[in-house]
């Protein structure tokens, strides 16, 4: 090294650090957890403004360029301003919470008072709610930054990540494939590391499908643990919001900022005394020792590559001290619930949307019938809006369904859900299980079909995700490996109501021992994302 007047003080400083036993720390945005980010901020090696700029650079490089992931619907125009304000606050007062300054991708069905909330629909592209959803407010009160609203299946119908407002979101692991849905933009955006944290919602697998297809962590909480207030509804009896993230720790951390009793959502009263504000306290690397897990293989044989990864994950669970009861079979009542319970209860959609649309500003549709009528008129692209006739055909049919006063609905609501809950709890009880484990998705993400907007009756992907919605039980998803063509596979830890502390602990123990999350080759690191301090 050639020394001069500039380098001598630096060399002296390095020598002094080494003499004092200090050591350099490497920061890598690709692997950085919330804890890593805050440590770099504490060391004055990173600011929240710089952090937001790093993520915005990734969005600029990869969302509409490069692989064209197409996850972002609205980039928060005040994100940098908010970050600068938080930097000033941190300098003056210290850290507000562990989420201070952390960017979050919010699914576009969460109400945000400063950005449109459209549910992916072109008719609501300019609909700015009067107030933030309570979950958004709680995150903002903690100092988190809503970096972007991201694409979803329109009105959470479809499962492939397509909307008339956002078009088709792509899977960053293979942009020819779907990212699954309906929280498509959140899953794809996290995989491409557009942010460390995200928000999804789940009616029949909409957090878990995209978490699995994109190889990230997701938590579908017990229904009632997180308020549904301020989240555009689908079937409220099954709906829940929940966290998605790149690590189990971060998802657990985020969950604590979403919980609480909300007077405007009566279901949250059930969580009183059962929710926590800090779920990271349950994260222990030896959580799987002595645990009895029931192995669900009901959909084995759908995709041999998924089966191979799942079988390897079971061996890893055994090595970590878990006892496997393999297999256990889900009761018929649970398997059939997709048709016997979920289908009749779709009658809720028209009532739920009438109530939600009634909270919007003047000038927007007020019913599913009106949405369908106006949506069907979009027959060719208009500006950035793309026709999605299949969604509006479904909504037209929903407007004509039997009402929630029908016998089929009331029977499913009052008796069907309870029967499935009892059947699953009976299985857990009979086998003395702590939880159930299964492959979150039974097969790799499908190739994108250019005819997607016109497909009304797409055959559902074989899945067991809906059982957690019918029972209202929690399900925690963690990466388990990749297929031969580098597509991620995840496993789900599924258990009784309010068993999140245990399930998150199992997922953390597995994650820390295996580190199976992989980054897509299509969205590599950019300059400035890796540095030493």
Question: Which residues does the annotation mark as catalytic?
Answer: 107, 182, 206
* Parallel, antiparallel or unpaired: strands 240-245 and 488-494: unpaired
Burial of 204 from C-beta contacts in 10 A (0-12 / 13-18 / 19+): buried
Angle CA(62)–CA(152)–CA(334) in degrees, nearest 5?
A: 130
Question: How many CB atoms lie under 10 A from the CB of residue 449?
Answer: 14
The percent of the chain in helix, strand and coil, each rounded to the nearest 5, is 40, 15, 45
Q: Would residue 528 be called left, alpha or beta, if left means φ above 0 and alpha means ψ between -120 and 50 degrees?
A: left
DSSP sequence for 346-412: TTHHHHHHHHHHTTSPTTS--SHHHHHHHHHT--S-BTTB---HHHHHHHHHHTTS--TTSHHHHHI
DSSP sequence for 210-229: HHHHHT-EEEEPPTTSB--T
Tokens read off for 221: 């909480």
Q: Which residues pair with 216 in a beta bridge?
A: none
* Max CA pair span of the chain: 86
The label of the residue with tokens 């405007």 reads 264
């Amino acid at each position: 090294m050639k020394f001069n007047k500039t380098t001598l003080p630096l060399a002296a400083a390095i020598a002094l650090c080494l003499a004092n036993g200090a050591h350099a720390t490497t920061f890598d945005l690709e692997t950085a957890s919330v804890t890593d980010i805050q440590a770099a901020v504490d060391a004055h090696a990173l600011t929240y403004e710089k952090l937001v700029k790093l993520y915005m650079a990734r969005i600029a490089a990869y969302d509409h360029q490069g692989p064209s992931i197409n996850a972002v619907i609205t980039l928060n125009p005040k994100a940098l301003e908010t970050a600068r304000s938080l930097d000033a606050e941190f300098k003056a007062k210290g850290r507000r919470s562990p989420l201070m300054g952390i960017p979050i991708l919010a699914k576009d069905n969460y109400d945000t008072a400063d950005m449109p909330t459209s549910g992916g629909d072109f008719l609501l592209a300019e609909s700015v709610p009067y107030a933030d959803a309570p979950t958004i407010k709680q995150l903002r009160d903690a100092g988190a930054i809503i970096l972007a609203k991201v694409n979803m299946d329109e009105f959470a119908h479809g499962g492939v990540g397509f909307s008339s407002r956002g078009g088709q979101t792509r899977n960053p692991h293979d942009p020819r494939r779907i990212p699954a849905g309906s929280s498509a933009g959140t899953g794809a955006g996290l995989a491409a590391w557009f942010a460390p944290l995200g928000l999804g919602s789940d009616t029949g697998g909409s957090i878990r499908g995209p978490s699995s297809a994109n190889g990230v962590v997701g938590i579908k909480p017990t229904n009632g643990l997180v308020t549904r207030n301020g989240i555009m509804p689908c079937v409220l009896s099954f709906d829940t919001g929940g966290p998605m993230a790149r690590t189990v720790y971060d998802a657990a951390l985020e969950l604590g900022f979403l919980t609480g009793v909300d007077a405007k959502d009566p279901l949250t009263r059930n969580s009183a005394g059962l929710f926590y504000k800090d779920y990271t306290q349950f994260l222990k690397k030896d959580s799987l020792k002595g645990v009895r897990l029931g192995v669900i293989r009901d959909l084995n044989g759908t995709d041999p590559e998924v089966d191979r990864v799942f079988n390897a994950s079971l061996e890893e669970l055994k090595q970590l001290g878990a006892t496997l009861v393999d297999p256990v079979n889900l009761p018929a009542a649970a398997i059939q619930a997709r048709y016997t319970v979920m289908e009749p209860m779709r009658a809720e959609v028209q009532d739920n949307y009438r109530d939600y649309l009634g909270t919007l500003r003047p000038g927007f549709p007020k019913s599913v019938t009106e949405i369908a009528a106006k949506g069907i008129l979009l027959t060719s692209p208009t500006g950035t809006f793309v026709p999605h006739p299949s969604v509006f055909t479904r909504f037209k049919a929903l407007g004509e369904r039997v009402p929630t006063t029908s016998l089929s609905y009331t029977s499913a609501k009052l008796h069907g859900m309870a029967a499935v809950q009892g059947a699953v709890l009976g299985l857990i009880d009979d086998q003395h299980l702590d939880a159930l484990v299964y492959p979150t998705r039974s097969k790799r993400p499908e190739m994108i079909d250019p005819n997607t907007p016109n497909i009304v009756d797409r055959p559902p992907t074989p899945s067991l995700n809906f059982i957690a919605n019918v029972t209202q039980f929690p399900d925690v998803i963690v990466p388990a490996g990749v297929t031969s063509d580098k597509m991620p596979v995840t496993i789900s830890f599924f258990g009784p109501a309010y068993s999140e502390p245990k399930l998150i602990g199992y997922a953390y123990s597995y994650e820390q021992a295996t580190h199976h999350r992989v980054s897509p080759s299509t969205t590599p690191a950019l300059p400035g994302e890796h540095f030493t301090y």
